[in-house]
Structure 1
Amino acid sequence: MEANRRFFSKIGFNYFALGIIIVVLNIIIGLIINAIDPRILSNQTLMTFFSAIWTYLLPLPIFIYIMRKTESKTLEKHNMNIKTFIICISITMFLMWIGNMMGVVITAGIGSLIQHDVVNPVNEVINNSGLIANLIIITLIAPIFEELIFRKLLIDRTIKYGGTISVLLSALLFAFFHGNLSQFFYAFLLGGFFAIIYIKTGQIKYTIGLHMIINFIGSVVSLFVSQPLMDLANGSVLSPTSTVGVLLYILITLGLTFMGLIYSIKYFDKSKFDGSEKEIILKNPVDTILLNPGIICFILLMSYTIFTSIA
């Protein structure tokens, strides 16, 4: 196997190892909890906190250790002003809605074929975990760890192959890591956009901030507007407070999404890379990056997780 294919295979095996570690810790911690008090397993709020332990807190130090064995490059740092950051929020919103619609269409189509609905596991967690768990785990902890794992640790090591390759690989691994079709498409789009921002700025704090904002909207704000929206859809009359809240949510969401559409078109060319970050040119990039044992193992592991979430 040539050196470049071995490099990407090693990266793939690192992420495969991360997936295995998460699965093993999930089983071990689950058995411990069951031995202590089986009732905890049915408490979604507590289990959301425990999931942060086996998904993020314990695996990250191990993952950092194995990734540090691969040479990395420090990106040149550039600051982002408030106006640009707001524009990035709007583009993030636009990509999120596009990705969500793709997920809804695909899962609805699959659901019709298999004769039952394809459940979005994240929605189940958000709706049953409660405000505090959503705020701490989904809004604060998850963005920090995921941006470190799928942006900084990955891109610092793959940027020598160019920005485009780093972006696509970051987006693909991030999408598969979510382990379900409902999130796959918007995770791919957002993962790619966050990768572009990280490469352009060299600062992970911006992508962490954007990730936190989008997760806050999806996990915290949604708790306050989902029920009124359902009541409205069923023909119920909303209270003045609920009406104002729903209207503000709709107006802000639509405004940011439309703004994101405009700026996505306007700044599309600026998202491209001039090649100055590229040190190694691949003759067969698809074969080299994807058709290697490590990446294939990771994709197969995550594909199995996606399949089990559908069945």
Structure 2
Amino acid sequence: MNEFENKNGGVSGPKNGLLNKPRKAISGFVYSAAVIAALVVSLIYSLALTAAMKSSGSSLDGFRSQDWYKYLNFLLPQVAYIAVISLFSFFYKAAPRSYGYRKTSVKYWLIALPLAFGLLFSLNWVNNLFVELLSKIGYTDPSLSDPSLTSREYALLYQIPSLAGGGFVGALFVIALLPAVCEETIFRGVILDGIKDIGTVAACLLGGLLFSIFHQNPAQTVYQFICGAVFTLIALRADSILPAVFMHFINNAVILFDYKFDFLSKISSAGSIAMYVVSGVCLVGSLVYLIFFDKKTNRKKEGAIKPFMLAALAGVILCGIMWISVLVDNMG
């Protein structure tokens, strides 16, 4: 029983109130709250930008290439997530240890490295195949919407803040570190702690699905589903979210390093093939060990998923609507 649960499986608080809901429902509310908080912050930001454009006579295109605009695009959602995590911790007297910030065996840190390497470099074909399928219904990846720019040039011009000098440290903080900490705290910490009794397989699949639609990015749907499921698996096996935070950070950081140094494009064809093969072996080997040999934390279904899904439904619906909206906006 968690330190903020009462004997009936709820948390201490007013009778029949939100604070007295079962832990599983609380996890669902946290998911919905994170989605809603990010949307509210985005709406306020959009209104502020509209007001700024009217007063200055500027256009959105004029703002999009500015570093402050790029930083805010990455920073504001994380501020919303921090607020949700902080409110959860305050109202339920939940210490970080209770939602995953626990020491774990060194072996999980060692497994995290090849697992992160495998996820990053061996799944390109899966993602590319899904994007190709979307293109058959008219979808175009936003990064390819300008024929005069490569996807890398588009990202550096409109999405990634300056990576020159100390700017790289700032970008690493808002693009790699903050999302890794905040998103893993929500998904592999607060949410997973509430749903892990539905069974290991179900928890991994649900973790992948929630993580995927949460990002509302059609082009990354399959890749983020796999990442979410794998992050959930290692968090369950390690009984800690720290290896998942590390993997998430490594994933984003390597992408940033490539934007700065463009090292992946310099790898020869033979080198690329070798990298894909090695990364595939790392991914499969790590997963085989975690799934078939490291089964001490395996859980069969002990609880129902319904309380969580009812509470998370608002967030799931909103994410679904936004996912469809992004898809439609980039068609034709």
Correspondences of 1:16-165 after superposition (within 5 Å): 16-36=32-52, 39=58, 41-66=63-88, 69=92, 77-80=104-107, 83-93=110-120, 96-97=123-124, 99-111=126-138, 117-119=140-142, 125=155, 128=158, 129=160, 130-131=162-163, 132=168, 134-165=171-202
Whether 2:227 is the aligned partner of 1:190: answer yes
Give the aligned CA root-mean-square deviation in angstroms.
Answer: 3.7
Question: SS of 2:106's equivalent?
Answer: coil
Shift in CA distance, 108/158, structure 1 to aligned 2, threshold 3 Å: same
Q: Percent identity?
A: 18
Moved more, 21-30 or 38-47: 38-47
- Which 5+ residue runs of structure 1 have no aligned equivalent? 230-244
Number of aligned residues: 284
Question: Which shows bigger deviation, 208-217 or 187-196?
Answer: 208-217
Q: Which residue of 1 aligns with 2:315?
A: 298
The alignment status of 1:246 with 2:267, answered yes or no, reads yes
The C-alpha deviation readout for 1:149-205, integer Å capped at 9, x for no partner, is: 111121222223333333222211111111021111111101111111111112322
1:180 aligns with 2:207: no
Task: Check conservation: 1:89, 1:210, Cα contact below 8 A.
Answer: yes
Aligned pair partner of 2:246 in 199, 209, 216: 209
1:30 is displaced (CA, Å) by 3.3
Corresponding letter in the other structure for 2:142:
V
Shift of the 120–110 alpha-carbon distance from structure 1 to 2, 3 Å rule, reads farther
- Distance in 2, Cα, partners of 1:86 & 1:252: 18
Q: Name 2:282's counterpart in structure 1.
A: 260
Aligned residues of 2:121 and 2:279 also touching (Cα < 8 A): yes
> CA offsets per residue over residues 52-72 of structure 1, 9 Å max, x none?
332012432334423764985
Higher mean C-alpha deviation, range 258-267 or range 121-130: 121-130
Runs of 4 or more, structure 1, over 4 Å off, are 3-10, 36-40, 70-76, 120-127, 271-279
CA distance in 1, matches of 2:104, 2:126: 29
TM-score (normalised: structure 2) = 0.69
Which SS does the other structure have where 1:203 is aligned? Answer: coil
Q: Distance in 1 between matches of 2:192 and 2:246?
A: 18
Do the aligned partners of residues 274 and 99 (structure 1) sit closer, same or farther apart at CA in structure 2, a change above 3 Å counting? farther
Shift of 1:87: 2.5
* 1:95-140 Cα deviation digits (max 9, x unpaired): 64354234323322332xxxx5243599754553242364332222
Higher alpha-carbon deviation: 14-23 or 95-104 = 95-104
